[in-house]
Amino acid sequence: MKKILLAVLLVFSSIYTVLSYADDTNLESSLVHWISKDGNDTVSIQNGSGLTLTINIHVNSGGAGINIVNCGSTFHVNAGSTVLCSSNDPSSTVSFTSDASDVPATGTYLIKQQ
């Protein structure tokens, strides 16, 4: 009887562990440092999974701003500012470039899976 109870306990424990990891849907990437040297140097963030991603893009002060594509209704971000983009379409790459032809834009981005 004790062996049966122990076996049942181990099975339920295993099921709980698997379901706990399967429910962990708020995954976050490491902070990525980026640079766009000019308007032709594109930084691209592709949603290869098709899952809903929130992308936090920060543009450092002291340089250029960025022109951005596929970030909702936002098309430009000034230096020193941050924008949140949502993506769930693998075919719509979020991309951006420096808004100046001779001044680089730098910053960071962080991707969070919802």
And the tokens for 83? 């924008």
Distance CA 114, CA 111 (A): 10
Mean pLDDT by 10 residues, the chain (114 residues): 47 41 64 97 93 96 97 97 95 96 97 90
pTM of the model: 0.76
Residue with tokens 């099975």: 11
H or E element in which residue 110 lies: strand 105-113
Backbone angles phi, psi at 4, to 5 degrees: -65, -45
Distance CA 56, CA 85 (A): 7
Q: Which domains are assigned to the chain?
A: 25-113 (2.60.120.10)
The predicted structure's pLDDT at residue 1: 55
The predicted structure's pLDDT at residue 8: 42
